[in-house]
A and B are shown apart, each in its own frame.
Chain A
Amino acid sequence: MTKTGMIDFRGVNKWFGALNVLKDITLSVEPREVVVVCGPSGSGKSTLIRCINGLETIKDGDLVVDGQRLGDPATNMTRLRTEIGFVFQSFNLYPHKTALENVTLAPIHVRKIPRAEADKAGRELLAKVGLADKVNAYPAQLSGGQQQRVAIARCLGMRPKIMLFDEPTSALDPEMISEVLDVMVAVAEEGMTMMVVTHEMGFARKVAQRVVFMDAGAIVEAGTPEEFFSDPKTDRSRAFLSKILRH
């Protein structure tokens, strides 16, 4: 029996038509580990984390999440998804529901938690992400940074084992990025298993145990943030770093 992580990719491949978007991916994420995934656009990093909760399906190889093999008929994907929080680049809050209702929807309907209890937990979570005063606001009444914090609270409401972040700050105005990153740091420090697609290298240095660099669908390099930033091993990662760290 080989050692299994919380998220285990073994020889995973995926194609969009003729395009090999994930090439022979092997990667294991341990419980409580924070892994940052970076790379040029189109390198497959979003596709990589979207596979973990089945928003994308894989062609071949094995992907085991929380001990369950994806694509296995015995795996209940809907149930597995309740253990995986997913934060989208474009927030995807439900526009017809208030901040609190966004947070409590899944706990009430999926976890079957009584509404009063879910409301209480939801208010606490919104307070935790600094939005105690926005409980009854609709998404359209919130700034991008506030919406993304509600989205993180919405995930936390399900008490997931894993949180995935797909470029959570890319759609934000610069002055709102840090409020979202602060919340993510707090989540990481509580011991959440996290995979974060981001180019926020400050975040990577602060909380990530590992940085994975992808290019053209393959993992080119993986290492601790110190190793990766101070001594990138490949030309492609050096070229990438010189572009994003220039400013």
Chain B
Amino acid sequence: MIWQQFLSLAGSYPLALRGLGMTVMLSLISLVLGTALGFGLGILRTGGNRLAASVIGAWVDLIRGTPFLVQIFLIFFILPELGIELDAFTAGIIALTNLAACFICEIVAAGIRSVPTGQVEAALASGLSRWQRMRQVVLPQAMRIVLPPLVGQYVLLIKDSSVVSAIGLTDLTRVGWLVVQRVPNGLLVFFLVGVGYFIVCYPLIMLARRLERRMGAAHGEVQL
């Protein structure tokens, strides 16, 4: 009985790899885009423009205050009503990128705010432009604060990507649903799905822990 289930599971191996690939691909693209967007939003959030800062603040609150599943449904089912047709993969990328950007925005903004005013004043007094102040003085110091929770956030977002299975993307979680219809052993199947996620996330968890220790070091050189 169990043996037959194992054989059947082994037969699902290619499907599982495809699901893992989808999860990794989806996470990777969204995290790269979301990180870039999140840094941009975080910088604007702490910048001089009050209107931009409050619009971003409101958007971040809205996204953080609603379930990710609802956000995906809105993007995948409601946007087509407005004439914007999206395939499931694009919808998933958009939803996950947006979610990542909002969380990362807050992490980056907190990092920027942690840099003492005197640092900005010193950079101002030397005649550095706004971008140079950010690039040369503020961001390198903010990274000490930003990096550990940023990597931790990546882990959360990879796990959140499982929600995209709800709109039909064949990611790792959906592969679980498909396989369990043929192999009626939910415990075993979803145990293996969990192992799949853990294999992807564990290196990042280790990295976050390492960064946390390193950022406590003496003079704040950020070296990866």
Q: Which residues of A contact B (CB under 8 A)?
A: 53-55, 78-79, 81-82, 84-86, 88, 90, 92-96, 105-106, 109-110, 138-141, 154-155, 158
Q: Which residues of B contact A (CB under 8 A)?
A: 116, 118-119, 121-129, 132, 136-137, 140-141, 218-222
Known interface pairs A55-B121, A109-B136. Does A138 touch B219 (Cβ–Cβ under 8 Å)? Answer: yes
Which residues on the A side are within 8 Å of B141 (C-beta)?
94-96
Q: Considering the complex, give the chain A residue whose CB is closest to the CB of B127.
A: A82
Q: Considering the complex, give the chain A residue whose CB is closest to the CB of B135.
A: A109
Query: Given the complex of chains A and B, what is the CA–CA distance between A158 and B136 in angstroms?
Result: 17
Are B121 and A106 within 8 A (Cβ)? no
Are B127 and A81 within 8 A (Cβ)? yes
In the assembled complex, 20 residue pairs joining A and B whose CB atoms fall closer than 8 Å, in A order, are: A55-B125, A81-B125, A82-B126, A85-B125, A88-B122, A92-B116, A92-B121, A94-B123, A94-B136, A94-B141, A95-B141, A109-B136, A110-B129, A110-B132, A138-B219, A138-B221, A141-B219, A154-B126, A158-B126, A158-B127
Which residues on the A side are within 8 Å of B222 (C-beta)?
96
Interface centre among A79, A94, A110, A138 (most CB of B within 10 A): A94
Interface centre among A54, A88, A105, A141 (most CB of B within 10 A): A105
Known interface pairs A138-B218, A140-B218. Does A109 touch B128 (Cβ–Cβ under 8 Å)? Answer: yes
Which residues on the B side are within 8 Å of A95 (C-beta)?
141, 219-220
Seed contacts A92-B122, A154-B126; 10 additional CB < 8 Å A-B pairs: A81-B127, A94-B119, A94-B137, A96-B222, A106-B127, A106-B128, A138-B218, A138-B219, A140-B220, A158-B127
Which residues on the A side are within 8 Å of B219 (C-beta)?
95-96, 138-141
Are B118 and A110 within 8 A (Cβ)? no
Which residues on the B side are within 8 Å of A110 (C-beta)?
126-129, 132
Q: Which of B129, B137, B218 contacts A78 (CB 8 A)?
A: B129
Query: Given the complex of chains A and B, what is the CA–CA distance between A36 and B127 in angstroms?
Result: 24
Query: Given the complex of chains A and B, what is the CA–CA distance between A54 and B126 in angstroms?
Result: 12
Query: Given the complex of chains A and B, what is the CA–CA distance between A109 and B131 in angstroms?
Result: 11
Q: Considering the complex, give the chain B residue whose CB is closest to the CB of A54.
A: B124
Are A105 and B218 within 8 A (Cβ)? no
Are A96 and B122 within 8 A (Cβ)? no
Are A90 and B118 within 8 A (Cβ)? yes
Query: Given the complex of chains A and B, what is the CA–CA distance between A110 and B123 in angstroms?
Result: 11
Which residues on the B side are within 8 Å of A109 (C-beta)?
128, 132, 136
Which residues on the B side are within 8 Å of A90 (C-beta)?
118
Are A55 and B124 within 8 A (Cβ)? yes
Q: Considering the complex, give the chain A residue whose CB is closest to the CB of B137.
A: A94
- Looking at the assembled complex, report how far the CB atom of A127 sits from the nearest CB atom of chain B, in whole angstroms: 21
Known interface pairs A55-B121, A90-B118. Does A96 touch B220 (Cβ–Cβ under 8 Å)? Answer: yes
Q: Considering the complex, give the chain A residue whose CB is closest to the CB of B139.
A: A96
Query: Given the complex of chains A and B, what is the CA–CA distance between A59 and B29 in angstroms?
Result: 50
Are A94 and B122 within 8 A (Cβ)? yes
Query: Given the complex of chains A and B, what is the CA–CA distance between A55 and B128 in angstroms?
Result: 13
Interface centre among B116, B126, B222 (most CB of A within 10 A): B126
Query: Given the complex of chains A and B, what is the CA–CA distance between A53 and B222 in angstroms?
Result: 31
Query: Given the complex of chains A and B, what is the CA–CA distance between A140 and B219 in angstroms?
Result: 6
Query: Given the complex of chains A and B, what is the CA–CA distance between A240 and B83 in angstroms?
Result: 76
Which residues on the B side are within 8 Å of A158 (C-beta)?
126-127
Query: Given the complex of chains A and B, what is the CA–CA distance between A152 and B3 in angstroms?
Result: 77
Which residues on the B side are within 8 Å of A94 (C-beta)?
119, 122-123, 136-137, 141
Query: Given the complex of chains A and B, what is the CA–CA distance between A155 and B127 in angstroms?
Result: 11
Which residues on the B side are within 8 Å of A88 (C-beta)?
118, 121-122
Are B126 and A96 within 8 A (Cβ)? no
Which residues on the B side are within 8 Å of A106 (C-beta)?
126-128
- Looking at the assembled complex, report how far the CB atom of B209 sits from the nearest CB atom of chain A, in whole angstroms: 22
Which residues on the A side are within 8 Å of B128 (C-beta)?
78, 105-106, 109-110
Query: Given the complex of chains A and B, what is the CA–CA distance between A84 and B128 in angstroms?
Result: 12
- Looking at the assembled complex, report how far the CB atom of A49 sits from the nearest CB atom of chain B, in whole angstroms: 11
- Looking at the assembled complex, report how far the CB atom of B140 sits from the nearest CB atom of chain A, in whole angstroms: 5
